[in-house]
Amino acid sequence: MKHLLSIEALTAGEITDIVELGAKLRKNRNATPQILNGQCWALIFNKSSTRTRVSFEVGIRELGGSVMFLSGADTQLGRGEPVKDTARVLGRMVHGAVIRTYAQADVEDFAKYSSLPTINALTDEEHPCQILADLQVMYERLGGWAGKRVCFLGDGDCNVARSWMWAAERLGFELVIGAPKQFQPPQSFMENFKSGMVKLEDDPVKAVSGVDVVYTDVWVSMGKEEESAHRLKILQPYQINSALMKHAAKDAIVMHCLPAYREKEITDEVLEQHADVIFHEAENRLHVQKAVICWMLRK
């Protein structure tokens, strides 16, 4: 049985297969295969969401299935029931699960004990669905990732940055993490990346110099609100603005996984200039997640 628990766990071939299928499904949405007929999938979300919830609910329905949404307050998980017990129950009732939560171990335990195809819709460690959607943008807008250079600006040790790092390692494109030293991944994590394709840079101008993709995420993620003032002050030089974009490649694209806090990690001007790509990226969550489910269920 296949799961999508992390980018780390995927091979280059699997990533490419999912992205290419997502692009096909985007081109011909009306031809979505009805592979979930008669199935009910559970969405178990302990973190709030717009794009993730909507894209999975619509995608599962377009694949022919039905959806049951469960927030943390809706289940006994919110009252301390172990994940493995909830998993054993749902494994006898539903056909698949999409989980958005805090601990990576919770998603992995759910997959282990439920015996259901399980998708990580975000944890503190990784955000694989987002990065697959981003790679689909590169495939559709830039012709792929071979020979391309990507810069992630901001909190370089967040879940999105970590998933980007695994993608670069697996697929062999250059990724620069542009972040102040206190927001860079620890050396213990960097030891995973032997190819030399993942680089750290604390100078934002050097980080974006000549890159094809400039990428950012919110500076204050869920659970980090108490650090807001500190984060905004330290990360201000890493804002994507028109002055910084002059150092990127001439035809560089800007991506943001959203929600965007304009005039913080990105200016309103730059976001609107690149809105076509950014909202293409958001739409790709629907198509690539349908592709993920097709890939997981493929015999």
pLDDT tens, residue by residue, 27-42: 999 999 999 999 999 9
Structural contact between residues 216 and 266, judged by C-beta atoms closer than 8 angstroms: yes
217 labelled binding-site residue: yes
- Residues with pLDDT less than 70, the chain: 222-224
Q: Which of 231, 274, 285, 287 is catalytic?
A: 285
Per the confidence metrics, is the pTM higher than 0.85? yes
- Whether 247 is catalytic is no
Quick one: 164 and 257 in the same domain? yes
pLDDT of 225 reads: 75
Give the separation between CA 167 and CA 162, rounded to whole angstroms. 9
Q: Which of 151, 257, 280, 287 is catalytic?
A: 257
User: Count of domains in the chain?
Assistant: 2
Quick one: 99 and 190 in the same domain? no
Sign of CA dihedral 123, 126, 128, 131: positive
CATH for 50: 3.40.50.1370
Quick one: 102 and 26 in the same domain? yes
Residue reference for tokens 């967040």: 158
Q: Which of 26, 100, 149, 274 is catalytic?
A: 100
- Whether 29 is catalytic is no
Give the separation between CA 70 and CA 85, rounded to whole angstroms. 16
pLDDT of 110 reads: 97
pLDDT of 227 reads: 80
158 labelled binding-site residue: no
Quick one: 115 and 9 in the same domain? yes
Q: Which two tokens stand for residue 132?
A: 């697959």
Quick one: 138 and 79 in the same domain? no
Quick one: 147 and 241 in the same domain? yes
170 labelled binding-site residue: no
- Whether 127 is catalytic is yes
51 labelled binding-site residue: yes
Query: Measuring CA to CA, which residue among 258, 261, 251, 250 is closest to residue 279?
Result: 258
- Whether 285 is catalytic is yes
Quick one: 178 and 118 in the same domain? no
Quick one: 258 and 239 in the same domain? yes
153 alpha carbon, distance to own chain's centre: 15
Residue range(s) defining the domain that contains residue 268: 130-282
Q: Which of 3, 53, 95, 127 is catalytic?
A: 127
Q: Which of 26, 130, 170, 184 is catalytic?
A: 130
Q: Which two tokens stand for residue 291?
A: 């592709």
162 labelled binding-site residue: no
36 labelled binding-site residue: no
Asked if the peptide bond before residue 117 counts as cis, ω within 30 degrees of 0, the response is no
**CA-to-CA separations, 284 to 97, 131, 132, 139, 211, in angstroms, rounded:** 20, 10, 9, 11, 22
Question: Residue 32 is inside which H or E element, if any?
Answer: none
Quick one: 38 and 97 in the same domain? yes
- Side-chain half-sphere of 246: how many Cα atoms within 13 Å? 3
52 labelled binding-site residue: yes
Quick one: 140 and 228 in the same domain? yes
Quick one: 142 and 215 in the same domain? yes
Quick one: 149 and 273 in the same domain? yes
- Whether 294 is catalytic is no
pLDDT of 222 reads: 64
